[in-house]
Amino acid sequence: MIKTLQNTLKQDREGFVLPKSVQDAIPIRRLWPDGIFQFGSKFSKTIRFSDINYAIASKEDKTSMFLGYSELLNALDTGSTTKLTINNKRLNRQDFEQKILLPRQDDYLDGYRAEYNAMLMDKVTDSSNSVVQERYITLSVHRKSVEEARTFFDRVTADVTTRLSHLDARSEELDAVERLRVLHDFYRTGEETEYHLDLRDLMRKGHSFKATICPDSLEFKKDHFIMGDKFGRVLFLKEYASYIKDSMVSELTALNRTMMLSIDVIPVPTDEAVREMQNRLLGVETNVTNRLYIVSTTRL
């Protein structure tokens, strides 16, 4: 196994402590208003970005996007980890009405605005359009203090945001309230409009933010889990085919269901990556040589 990968897995390995409550099952130890979370000995920061319309792009544009995506991955720091997440979530009707629908202006065009709004509401009321997708990049790194982590994130998030803009993707860093909203909407599906979080008020009262976002109950069975009154299952893709279509991820996330798909990225130094590829290539060539020798011997 690659040395960097071994070291990363070793650093992330922590002893499992049986949670005594649903709140304890949420692995966040501390958080800061600017969106930095601490879990275990790592700090993390999340960026939300928009779709880049890869599926409808021309072949040349797809190649350009692929190369830009490769540059983004290659620019990530070794020693840190990155998680790409696609979140299929229930449409927040309240946010939709506030951000998308056209407000009244008390003029002669209000009739057209009302008709346009009614058309949009009819579309989102349909179950096939009640799920929307959000995309995140979460950066994680081991640091001794939050100040060191903040310095790292200031540099890396600026670079990631710039590279996303080259892919025509809009991006924004999530603060603590918005990151907790993502978890709340996942843990408490169907209660998206009930999310109201004031960190200052929680600190003043001495309450935990976990009580605001956690499900009513959480049970883990052999092949599924029960979260409140919802049933769920986790699938882990451990091995991949030698050929994967570029539409695989979009096909997996095309299901009209609340779900999260994540891809973990562990940057590896170039010299280690080249050495690993050379070793694998040598192994393939050795296998081919052995097979040819066996075939020749059999014919003789």
Q: What is the pLDDT of residues 255-300, one digit of tens each?
A: 888 899 999 998 888 888 788 888 878 877 777 777 766 656 655 5
**Res 249 pLDDT > 70:** yes
Which pLDDT value is given to residue 126? 60
Q: What is the pLDDT of residue 175?
A: 95
Boundary residue ending a domain (123, 141, 171): 123
pLDDT for the residue 233 = 93
Strands in 218-220's sheet, in edge-to-edge order, are: 218-220, 225-227, 230-232
Length of the chain counted residue by residue = 300
Shared domain for 199 and 239, answered yes or no, is yes
Q: What is the mean pLDDT of residues 23-29?
A: 91
Condensed to tens digits (0 to 9), the pLDDT of residues 39-49 reads 988 999 999 99
User: Quick check: 216 pLDDT over 80?
Assistant: yes
Whether residues 253 and 173 fall in one domain: yes
Q: Label residue 223 exposed, middle or buried (CB < 10 Å: 0-12, 13-18, 19+).
A: exposed
Do 63 and 177 fall within a single domain? yes
Same domain for 245 and 220, yes or no, is yes
Cα separation, 23 vs 214, whole angstroms: 6
pLDDT of residue 299: 55
Please check whether residues 48 and 80 belong to one and the same domain: yes
Find tokens 């939300």 and name the residue.
48
Separation in Å, CA 201 to CA 23, 37, 164: 19, 19, 35
Residue 297: predicted pLDDT: 60
User: Got the DSSP string for 100-151?
Assistant: TSPPP-SSTTHHHHHHHHHHHHHHHHSGGGSEEEEEEEEEEEE-SSHHHHHH
Rounded Cα distance, 34 and 81, in Å: 20
CA distance 106 to 60: 47
Q: How do residues 114-172 score in pLDDT, each as one tens digit?
A: 898 888 877 766 655 577 889 999 999 999 999 999 999 999 999 999 999 998 899 99
Residue with tokens 């066996």: 294
- Residue 170 CA to chain centroid, in angstroms? 16
163 shares its domain with 150: yes
Whether residues 78 and 36 share a domain: the answer is yes
Q: Encoding tokens for residue 194? A: 């009930």
**Residues 148 and 20 both lie in one domain:** yes
* Residue linked to tokens 């605001």: 212
Which pair of tokens denotes residue 115? 């008709």
Give the whole-angstrom CA distance, residue 275 versus residue 291.
24
Residue 263 Cα to chain centre, angstroms: 7
pLDDT value for 256: 81
pLDDT score for 245: 85
Structural domain for 112, as ranges: 96-123
The string of pLDDT tens digits covering residues 63-116 is 999 899 988 988 888 888 999 999 998 776 776 777 778 888 888 888 888 898
Residues 56 and 190 reside in one and the same domain: yes
Kindly state whether residues 139 and 277 are assigned to the same domain: no
> Structural domain tally of the chain?
3
Question: 292 is written with which tokens?
Answer: 């040819």
Query: Measured at the alpha carbon of residue 222, what is the angle toward residues 220 and 224, in degrees to the nearest 5?
Result: 60
Mean pLDDT for the stretch of residues 204-231? 92
Do 100 and 87 fall into the same domain?
Answer: no
Same domain, 49 and 195: yes
